[in-house]
């Protein structure tokens, strides 16, 4: 499925804004992303498996915080990051 990557994480994807990844859950998709782009998952998900504050994962138009949420190839995953702060 298509995964949209926000600008703060594109140093991992060689600048690509969209990449392909697979998995039956959001967590599996992020793990597949990490196998392709080592290190990217830990910037989004902490060592206890929690999506970091101010990071958001959307499956199509729906925000998801549970990494067990199901996805399929028909979905599009969008990773977003707040750009708050000075």
Partner 1 sequence: MAETRWTSTDGDVEHESPEGPMLLVGTRKGLWLVGADATRSRWSVAGPAFLGHVVHHAVVDPRDRRTLLVAARTGHLGPTVLRSTDVGRSFVEATRPPAFASGDLLGRALRAVFWLTPGHADEPGAWYAGGIPQGLFRSEDGGDTWAPVPGWNDHPRWADWAEWPEEGTPDGSMLHSVNVDPRDPRHLYLGLSGGGVFESVDGGGDWAPLNAGSVATFLPDPEPEYGHDPHCVRLHPLRPDRLYQQNHCGIYRMERTDGRWVRIGDNMPGDVGDIGFPIELHPRDPDTVWVFPMDGTDVWPRTSPDGRPAVYVTRDAGEQWRRLDRGLPERGWLTVKRQAMSVDAGDPVGVYFGTTGGEVWASRDEGGEWSCVLRHLPEVYSVEVADPTERD
Residue whose CB is less far from partner 1, 25 or 81? 81
DSSP run (H or E) holding 42: helix 40-44
According to the binding rule CB under 8 A, does residue 50 interact with partner 1? yes
Q: Which residue has the tokens 């998900």?
A: 45
Give the residue with the Cβ less far from partner 1, 2 or 50: 50
Dihedral sign for Cα atoms in the order 18, 11, 56, 35: positive
Q: Which of 9, 33, 57, 59 binds partner 1 (CB under 8 A)?
A: 9
- How far apart CA 17 and CA 70 sit, in angstroms, is 23
Q: Which residues bind partner 1 (CB under 8 A)?
A: 8-9, 38-39, 42-50, 52-55, 81-85
């Amino acid at each position: 499925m298509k995964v949209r990557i926000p600008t703060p994480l594109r140093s991992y994807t060689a600048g690509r804004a969209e990449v392909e990844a697979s998995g039956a859950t959001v967590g599996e998709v992020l793990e597949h992303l990490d196998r392709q782009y080592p290190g990217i998952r830990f910037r989004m998900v902490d060592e206890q498996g929690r999506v970091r504050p101010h990071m958001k994962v959307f499956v199509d138009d729906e925000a998801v915080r549970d990494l067990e949420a199901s996805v399929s190839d028909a979905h599009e995953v969008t990773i977003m990051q707040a750009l708050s702060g000075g």
